[in-house]
Amino acid sequence: MKIYQNVSLKGFHTFHVEVTAKTFIELEQFEEIDYILDNLQATLLFILGGGSNVLFLKQPEVVLRVNFRGIHIVDENEDFVWLSAKAGEPWDDFVAYCVSQGWGGLENLSLIPGTVGASPIQNIGAYGVEVKDTIWKVNAIHLLTGVRKSFYAKDCNFSYRDSYFKQHPDEKWLIYEVIYKLTKKHHRYNISYGNLATEFKEKPVSLQSIRQFVIQQRQSKLPDPDEYGNAGSFFKNPVVDITKLNDLKKIDSSVPYFEHQDGNYKVPAAWLIEKAGLKGIRYGNVGTFPRQPLVIVNYGGASSQEIFDFSAFIIQTVVEKFGIELEREVNVFK
């Protein structure tokens, strides 16, 4: 374990905003948590993974960076493998490893930044797949009491970019291990999503070819956080009922939408932002990325408050145009 005082977090989160942690602790081994439980007030702790989905509006007192590493097979049969990964494993290295072993289920989630430990937090999703479909259980420790608990997928309350953990940040569950159930054969390739469907109409599909295609798509559309600080999609795609959808169609009949659960519809937030005239705009050091306006970028030197105020301006403008209030997907620490 390493403990530092007054550490700049600029290099530890992908918005690359200047913010300081009073105490910064790098946890290398699970056993080191005992020190945290015995010596620190849990309510002051902020758990950090790769920092690719956070905006620090205030200075955190104590940052715990979870670096536990390790991948091992828990169980397997002819068809499936139950695979454990420790929280600090870089997500895309883990996906690459699974694909190289011929284990299916995570390939559509290639090149998402961050760590294994954060993957259940917002039930990461992309290209028609959500991680909840592969999660067997999540092992976590309750920092307020030291109690350890296994959350099976059904206990995680997973929904669209959401989970029990995201809904209850004050409960301070530190996820130290996630166990995934992956296919060894009869892979259920998910290629129904837009560009994937076109790409694999005639080409052979495999775990590797899906991964390569997703990587290429993402690299062509999304900003590299090391070039332009960002946290991916800043807002969730709103889910609306049929009445609201019909209202939107009256405002603009070209509105795209996708069937969601319970007879509701998902409308791409990027489309709403673009139609509100906000695609590629820039105010000072902050803007919407020209190739994907759902991503707010720090063009350099932006403060967290500037980014937050810019996001509030987007929310307000979209409300005025469409009567829909966008919800922030990024975890705002305030």
**78 given a catalytic annotation:** no
Is position 54 an interface residue for ligand FAD (rule: CB under 6 A)? yes
Is position 62 an interface residue for ligand FAD (rule: CB under 6 A)? no
Q: Rounded distance, CA 118 to CA 126, Å?
A: 15
Are 75 and 93 spatial neighbours (Cβ–Cβ below 8 Å)?
Answer: no
Give the one entry of ligand NAP, ligand FAD, none that residue 87 binds, where binding means its C-beta sits below a cut-off of 5 to 8 angstroms depending on kind: ligand FAD
Is position 286 an interface residue for ligand FAD (rule: CB under 6 A)? no
Among 14, 119, 123, 233, binds ligand NAP (CB under 6 A): 233
Q: Rounded distance, CA 135 to CA 157, Å?
A: 12
Residue 84 is encoded by which pair of tokens?
A: 């454990």
Residue holding tokens 């169609």?
249
Judged by beta carbon, residue 210 or residue 248, the one nearer ligand FAD is 210
Give the one entry of ligand NAP, ligand FAD, none that residue 64 binds, where binding means its C-beta sits below a cut-off of 5 to 8 angstroms depending on kind: none
Give whole-number Cα distances, 332 to 1, 46, 95, in Å.
27, 12, 27
Is position 14 an interface residue for ligand FAD (rule: CB under 6 A)? yes
Mark residue 323 as left, alpha or beta (left: phi above 0; alpha: psi -120 to 50; beta: remaining): left
CA 304 to chain centroid, in Å, comes to 19
| 175 three-class SS | strand
Among 14, 115, 237, 298, binds ligand NAP (CB under 6 A): 237
3-state helix, strand, coil in the chain (%, to 5): 30, 30, 40
Is position 121 an interface residue for ligand FAD (rule: CB under 6 A)? yes
Catalytic residue among 161, 163, 177, 328: 161
Judged by beta carbon, residue 134 or residue 248, the one nearer ligand FAD is 134
Is position 52 an interface residue for ligand FAD (rule: CB under 6 A)? yes
**329 given a catalytic annotation:** yes
Is position 230 an interface residue for ligand NAP (rule: CB under 6 A)? no
Is position 50 an interface residue for ligand FAD (rule: CB under 6 A)? yes
CA angle 246, 249, 250 (to 5 degrees): 90
Is position 195 an interface residue for ligand FAD (rule: CB under 6 A)? no
Q: Rounded distance, CA 71 to CA 50, Å?
A: 18
Among 55, 153, 175, 296, binds ligand FAD (CB under 6 A): 175
Are 265 and 240 spatial neighbours (Cβ–Cβ below 8 Å)?
Answer: yes
**177 given a catalytic annotation:** no
- Identify the CA nearest to 50 among candidates 34, 74, 66: 66
Among 85, 126, 239, 240, binds ligand NAP (CB under 6 A): 126
Residue 97 is encoded by which pair of tokens?
A: 């490893």
Stretch that binds ligand FAD, among 185-193, 227-235, 240-248, 280-288 (CB under 6 A): 227-235
Among 46, 68, 127, 322, binds ligand NAP (CB under 6 A): 127
Q: Rounded distance, CA 235 to CA 241, Å?
A: 19
Q: Rounded distance, CA 263 to CA 238, Å?
A: 14
For the annotated catalytic residues, the residue numbers are 161, 233, 329
Task: State the residues that interact with ligand FAD by CB under 6 A.
Answer: 14, 47-54, 66, 87, 112-115, 117-119, 121-122, 124-126, 173-175, 222, 225, 230-232, 331
Task: State the residues that interact with ligand NAP by CB under 6 A.
Answer: 125-128, 193-194, 221-222, 232-233, 237, 258, 266, 268, 270, 292, 329
